[in-house]
Amino acid sequence: MPSRPPKDKVLPRERVARLRGRAGQDQRKRRLARTDGLCERCEEKGFTVFATVVDHIDPLALGGSDDDSNTRNLCDDCHRDVTAEQFGHQAVGGCGADGLPLDPSHPWNRGASGTPQGSKV
């Protein structure tokens, strides 16, 4: 049976109190209404896409506040890209028609000798 962490253990960052239940739903509706439910990043590019996520500009996990001024409305694609950027993740390159990753340095694209296929070493 797993043991519980000691109560006197100090967390590395202070936790932000989040609204739950009806109050949290009302807060989300109010924040989405600010942009008429549209993705702010797509709108800057001239696209009209529904926002599905209220994103924190400075992530709560990195010490950001849960104020309305620290939020923006994003679609799923924009939210995924922004979150990956904020936390230092690389974007996925995708696959070609042959099913192999587009990144030439990916292990699946290496031959038996360990060098990228098609390269002359």
Both tokens of residue 117?
């296929």
| Assessment of whether the complete model's pTM goes beyond 0.75 | no
- Taking only the tens place, the pLDDT of each residue in 79-106 is 998 998 888 876 656 788 888 887 777 7
Cβ atoms 121, 111 nearer than 8 A: no
Rounded CA-CA distance 49/38 in Å is: 6
Sequence letter at residue 27: Q
**Strand ranges (E), the chain:** 53-56, 71-74
- Taking only the tens place, the pLDDT of each residue in 101-120 is 877 777 887 765 555 555 55
**β-strand partners of 95:** 101
Q: Which of 53, 52, 56 is nearest to 18 (CA)?
A: 56
Residue written as token pair 């599905």: 52
Rounded CA-CA distance 44/39 in Å is: 9
Q: Does residue 13 surpass a pLDDT of 80? A: no
